[in-house]
Amino acid sequence: METNIREFKGNSLLELCTDYVLIDIETTGFSPQYDDIIEIGAIKVKNNEIIDEFQFLINIGHKLNNFISNLTGITDEMLLNGKDIDVVLKKFKDFIGDNILVGHNVNFDINFLYDKSALYINEYLKNDFIDTMRIAKKLLPNLPNYKLSTLSNHFGIDYSNAHRGLEDVKITYEVYNKLKYYEENYYEIKMTEIEKSLKICEAFNNKKVVVKTSLQNLSYKIIKELLLKQNSKTYDIFYSFCDYLIINDSTYEKYINMDKVDIYYGEWLYKAKDLEKNGTLKVISESDFCSLYNIYFPKKVNIKKEKISAKDIIPQTENFDETHPLYNKVCVFTGVLERMERKQAMQIVANLGGICGNSVTSKTNYLILGNNDYCKSIKDGKSSKQKKAEDLKLKGNDIEIIPENTFYEMIEEN
């Protein structure tokens, strides 16, 4: 069983920078223990400009399976001319130096590079890293998914040469620049979108409004600007004299059901309940606020309903980190897990805001293979779930096939 401890691994950052190295790798599978790196691509960026490139194929000493060849376009003949992995990793270490590393779903790349560097060159990959997928989830909550192809299409970036190390790096570089522009101009961009269909709700004229919790679609600044035009004042501290309390939809659902469950939710919510009963406060959800102002609000999947088909697993909390990679993702398990019962793993997925499924379909985002099923000795005898997942991935579906230990890393590191 592979260990998940990477003691010297860098920190995952959620920020934008001007100097960094953008990386992408191609592999024979999804497990750093069982699979190999077959290509590393990288570009060095200084003051937002590309100043150097890095690209090497790696001779792994055995044949690729058809799935990987079809996915990446890399052939056995190409790898015969590749270099040994220790040579490439030493060159890569020199290339990146101590720069911050950037990539799309980069934790996958970092784990492979960390483990292989420790194994083949006796060095640890300690660089901090930035995941463009996490940034995209934060800035663009309305997208159907956050695949590199989806973001490329959203920003009008050519994706036709994807799934090769250096090409993916260059695509991610363009996506990263678009995300930086979006964040730097977020307020102006969002206000332009809102004002196209905005209708003023007179009920908020001359009111005192408090905004609590992290919102999904709007920022505190945007709400403040909208209400300022109505001679209203906004607060981020909950005062008893406030007329309205705006909270995110997840917290609002908890708020309206808090009298029905034996769970303590926090003093401020009980304060709000008392004030609303006394008629001095009105509590509304973010989606209700958007509806009142005719602002588009993306519909969320009803997580509880989605999980009825998977042994009725429902979340035990309503506070979700919406930037987590499993949030709102359909996860299917196959095989026997080593560290926990499948029901426990499914409950963890639900508690992270994910959706559990029984079988692989076009809606599946992750197929998690028990470690006993993820072994080179059975690769020629794949389960029907894995074969279906591979077929869907080749067709462009938003689905990843990951071993059990990668699942643990995702739930522990985030």
State how far the Cα of 251 lies from the Cα of 247, in Å rounded to an integer: 6
Between CA 401 and CA 217 the distance in angstroms is 30
pLDDT of residue 319: 82
Which class for 374: exposed (0-12), middle (13-18), buried (19 or more C-beta within 10 A)? buried
How wide is the angle at C-alpha 241 spanned by C-alphas 240 and 242, nearest 5°? 95
**Within a 10 A sphere around the Cβ of 324, how many other Cβ atoms?**
17
**Distance of alpha carbon 342 from alpha carbon 178, whole angstroms:** 40
Q: How far apart are CA 99 and CA 414, in angstroms?
A: 22
* Residue 28 near residue 64, CB atoms below 8 Å: yes
- State the pLDDT at residue 106: 94
Residues 336/370, Cβ–Cβ less than 8 Å: yes
Q: Which of 233, 21, 230 is nearest to 113 (CA)?
A: 21
pLDDT at residue 4, rounded to an integer = 55
pLDDT at residue 371 in the model? 66
Whole-prediction pTM: 0.70
Instruction: Give the pLDDT of residue 190.
Output: 86
Cα 394 vs. chain centroid, distance in angstroms?
A: 21
* Structure confidence at residue 412 (pLDDT): 75
| Confidence (pLDDT) at 405 | 84
Using an 8 Å Cβ cutoff, are 356 and 344 in contact?
Answer: no
Q: What are phi and psi for residue 332, nearest 5 degrees?
A: -125, 135
Q: What pLDDT is recorded for position 301?
A: 45
Three-class SS of residue 18? Answer: coil
DSSP 39-83: EEEEEEEETTEEEEEEEEEB--SSPPPHHHHHHH---HHHHHTSB
Task: For 107-149, write each residue's pLDDT tens digit.
Answer: 999 999 999 999 999 999 999 999 999 999 888 877 888 889 9
- Say if residues 15 and 132 touch (Cβ distance below 8 Å): no
Taking the C-alpha atoms of residue 216 and residue 141, their distance in angstroms, rounded to an integer, is 7
The pLDDT score that the predictor gives to residue 166 is 86
Work out the angle at residue 112's Cα, subtended by the Cα atoms of residues 111 and 116, and round it to the nearest 5 degrees.
120
Q: Which CB contacts under 8 angstroms, 24+ apart, belong to 306-311?
A: 306/330, 306/355, 306/356, 307/350, 307/355, 307/356, 309/357, 309/358, 310/346, 310/356, 310/357, 310/358, 311/343, 311/346, 311/356
User: What DSSP state is assigned to residue 337?
Assistant: -
Q: Which stretches of the chain score pLDDT less than 70?
A: 1-4, 163-165, 299-309, 311, 371-381, 413-414
Q: Using CB atoms within 10 Å of the CB of residue 51, give its burial: 0 to 12 exposed, 13 to 18 middle, 19+ buried.
A: exposed
Give residue 202's Cα distance to chain centre: 38
